[in-house]
Amino acid sequence: MIDVVIPGFDIALTADSGQCFRFLKLSPDNFRLIALGRRLDIGVLGEDRFAFSCTRGEFDTLWSPYFDLQEDYLRFRSLIPRDDAFLGAALRYAGGLRILRQAPFETLISFIISQRKTIQAIKGCVEALSRRFGDRIDEESFSFPGPEGLAKADLASLLACGLGYRSRYILATSRSVWEGRIDLEALSLLQDDALHLALCGLDGVGDKVAQCVMLFAYHRLAAFPRDVWVNRVIDREYGGSFPEHLYKGHAGVIQQYMFCYGRSAQWREMQKT
């Protein structure tokens, strides 16, 4: 267990930001994450102070990159026009979140699952998949399965995880990865357009899922996923057209502020009046 100072970092917000479905909220100030084949517990000690259940070396080489802690998120704030009241409020609400650097396969499968599901439901499916096909980490923790485990699964087992019609997408895409028809590691060498095209060639992956995988796994900060929440914000606050061009190269970060604030009780309450 180590004690670290991370200015401006909000673990509660990041854990519930809809990027990753393997955060567990143990208490208001304690979180558990399964990632990188490990279990990590994070406690909030105070303003900008956190406890991580790992060594200093693991924090520096594994978790600091995972949480994108070397990036200066203050530089994204200066991109927001002063007269944009919505983004100003969104930043005050969600400015402490980070764009995670997650494993491509887990992110890919998780966002194929995500279609027409709530975040809670996605979490349930991902947990079920991990328990059935992943490796045991400890008494109660299981890693997300690799391509082999899912490629060799049968449809009935996938259906039993609550995946519904997405089961055949997950089987087909897992087989594409396992059989080497697509190399998720090699995709990191591609430019954004080529990466998007390659991802959209997979079963169950369209524009939105591809954008999520680009942003949350390949850290392409220009990717701009448009889901029902973001579209709702764009309709209500920007007359149906968001000026993405103002944030060239970093619109994905702005999108994530919009998503989190748009889902908040605070913004939703304002919409009722």
Catalytic sites, residue numbers: 208
Contacts of 238 (CB under 8 A, 6+ apart): 86
Based on CB atoms, which residue is closest to DNA, 33 or 202?
202
Cβ(91)–Cβ(8) below 8 Å: no
CA-nearest of 140, 143, 114 to 22 is: 143
CA-nearest of 136, 137, 127, 167 to 150 is: 167
CB of 229 to DNA, least distance (A): 6
Cβ(15)–Cβ(25) below 8 Å: yes
CA-nearest of 226, 225, 223, 222 to 250 is: 222
Rounded Cα distance, 115 and 86, in Å: 27
CB of 273 to DNA, least distance (A): 18
∠ Cα 85 91 93 (to 5°): 105
Based on CB atoms, which residue is closest to DNA, 59 or 73?
73
CB of 45 to DNA, least distance (A): 27
CB of 209 to DNA, least distance (A): 3
Rounded Cα distance, 98 and 201, in Å: 28
Based on CB atoms, which residue is closest to DNA, 17 or 143?
17
Rounded Cα distance, 216 and 253, in Å: 10
Based on CB atoms, which residue is closest to DNA, 232 or 250?
232
Interface ranges with DNA (CB under 7 A): 17-19, 111, 114-122, 124, 159, 162, 164-165, 169, 200, 202-210, 212, 225-230, 232, 255-256, 259, 263
Question: Residue type at 229?
Answer: W
Based on CB atoms, which residue is closest to DNA, 114 or 141?
114
CB of 159 to DNA, least distance (A): 5
Question: Residue type at 65?
Answer: P
Rounded Cα distance, 267 and 149, in Å: 41
